[in-house]
Amino acid sequence: MRKASLYLSLFFIFFSSCQLKKQNNPTSTVIPADSIITHINDTITLLFVGDVMQHKAQLEAAQTKKGFDYSSYYQYVKKEIQSSDISTCNLETPIGAPPYAGYPMFSAPSEFAQEIKSTGFNLILTANNHCVDRHAKGLRRTIEVLDSLDLKHLGTYINKDEQEKNHPYYISIKNKKIAFLNYTYGTNGIGIPNPFAVNLIDTIQIKQDLEKAKINQSNAIIVCIHWGEEYITSPNKQQKKLANWMIKNGADHIIGAHPHVIQPIKIYKDSVNQKQHIVAYSLGNFISNMSQIDTDGGMILKLKLFGNQKQMDSEVSYSLVWTGRPSITGEKNYILFPISHEKDSLNSFSYNKLSIFKQRAQKVMQANSPQVKYYDF
Spell out the CATH class of 44-374: alpha beta
In the predicted model, what is the mean pLDDT of the chain?
91
> What is the predicted pLDDT for the residue at 311?
82
- The amino acid present at 205, given as its one-letter code, is Q
Chain Cα centroid distance, residue 143: 20
pLDDT tens-place string over residues 300-309: 999 999 988 7
DSSP summary character for residue 206: H
Detail the DSSP E strand segments found in the chain: 44-52, 86-91, 123-125, 152-154, 156-157, 169-173, 176-184, 197-198, 220-226, 253-257, 262-269, 276-283, 285-287, 297-307, 312-324, 335-338, 373-374
Overall average pLDDT of the 152-173 stretch: 98
In terms of pLDDT, which residue wins out, 228 or 38?
A: 228
- pLDDT surpasses 70 at 16: no
Confidence (pTM): 0.89
| pLDDT at residue 273 in the model | 78
